[in-house]
Structure 1
């Protein structure tokens, strides 16, 4: 069923909730929640995903509210494919892949999530920012290590300078997978899974610990690693594709180098 358009899309944002921030990132950035928008259930209310069955008018109004916080800057976005491809970008547009890096001030990078993990990167010395979309396929394929390698090789970033901030995503307690997924993580040396005590032959996959381990292996200092630590499946403040069986909205993680 097509969702009805909200009759009053002029309400200011954020009405409630608003953006969540990392104390490691003293530049414009944020992780959206599901609060403060105009979309009706099951996309209530700050749905930012045009690929959902929500009214495009609602989604565009929700996006306008978020972008207004940053002054409506040019944006770089992704056609996300759950892989390890990271693009170096210098201007607005949309790229197929799951990661973006830029040294261009005033360009807003954004990724879309609803259980996968958003990862924001920042090098204050070389003035580089990044945004990654990391689901289980992206993690096992090494999107974070790939992004760090590109920061080191293409922007002359040093590991000790890079900050990593991880937003909300599905926790290990709620992320059940089959043996075929576990085999891929084992082959990648990411043994962050354990048998599901409630169902034989199934496993619980701890993506946050895998992401943390990859950051540390990439040289990121523990003091420069931050994770929100909130589960999209368990917390109603967030959209969750798995909890809501696909009938849900999308959130953004955004970051931008300020001018000057």
Structure 2
């Protein structure tokens, strides 16, 4: 059985771990990306197992580019960008991660979203962009429920001065000097996302955090911990049929 991390988000959703699949070696066991160098047949079986949790629905996915492009989609397919929104019941939205944060959104007037948020997406404002699109659709973004999946924690995410400066320029001062490495900083991506959510008016009681660090937790894939040789997990959400 494939375990799924869930939150109080009131629609079908979840975040996969690395457990419950058939891949071997550094991809053990539920690697969901064939672009990692894993056996494509094993990846296909892993994907089948993950999708079975939602009844094998049609899927909308992304060719992720660490940007802020968010697409409003009506049916299955693959879009270049890092965010999806849909009003289509039964259409499963999918993002892939292995340190970046998977964000799942639900608006009570019948919209769900899935976002891929690495440091470039966070500092570029992919979450505010998705909320702006909801507003352009005539919906109040302050009603959004937001689920934040596992991602690399601030205590484990070391970055250089240039990245810290980008966050400072964006008004996201969620970084501190790394006491063990002069000239380097520890960056709290989740803290930056929470700050953006609060600035957009989202209510704290509608923000749900899984609260697991991919770098620290061995049951999760981590690109940084595993030096690039690792699998990918999915963040998944859909409106009920």
TM-score, normalization: structure 1? 0.91
List aligned pairs for 1:100-111, cutoff 5 A.
Answer: 100-111=84-95
- Between structure 1 and structure 2, the one with the greater Rg is 1
List aligned pairs for 1:76-155, cutoff 5 A.
Answer: 76-124=60-108, 126-154=109-137
Q: Distance in 1 between matches of 2:240 and 2:34?
A: 27
> Residue 237 of structure 2 aligns with which residue?
255
Please list every run of 5 or more consecutive structure 1 residues that lacks an aligned counterpart in the other structure: 1-12
Asked if the contact 2:106–2:145 (Cα under 8 Å) also holds between the matched residues in 1, the reply is yes
Decide which of 9, 32, 37 is 2:21's aligned counterpart: 37
Q: Does 1:205 align with 2:205?
A: no
> Shift in Å at residue 159 of structure 1?
2.9
Runs of 4+ with >3 A deviation? none
Q: Distance in 2 between matches of 1:225 and 1:70?
A: 23
Decide which of 50, 69, 74 is 2:53's aligned counterpart: 69
Secondary structure of 1:133 counterpart: strand
Q: Does 1:166 align with 2:148?
A: yes
> Shift in Å at residue 160 of structure 1?
3.3
Secondary structure of 1:118 counterpart: strand
* C-alpha RMSD of the superposition: 0.7
List aligned pairs for 1:153-232, cutoff 5 A.
Answer: 153-154=136-137, 156-232=138-214
Q: Distance in 1 between matches of 2:126 and 2:142?
A: 19
Q: Distance in 2 between matches of 1:30 and 1:189?
A: 31
> Residue 22 of structure 1 aligns with which residue?
7
Secondary structure of 1:51 counterpart: helix
Secondary structure of 1:172 counterpart: coil
Asked if the contact 2:105–2:144 (Cα under 8 Å) also holds between the matched residues in 1, the reply is yes
> Shift in Å at residue 157 of structure 1?
2.0
- 1:68-89 CA distance string (max 9 Å, x none): 1111100000000001110000
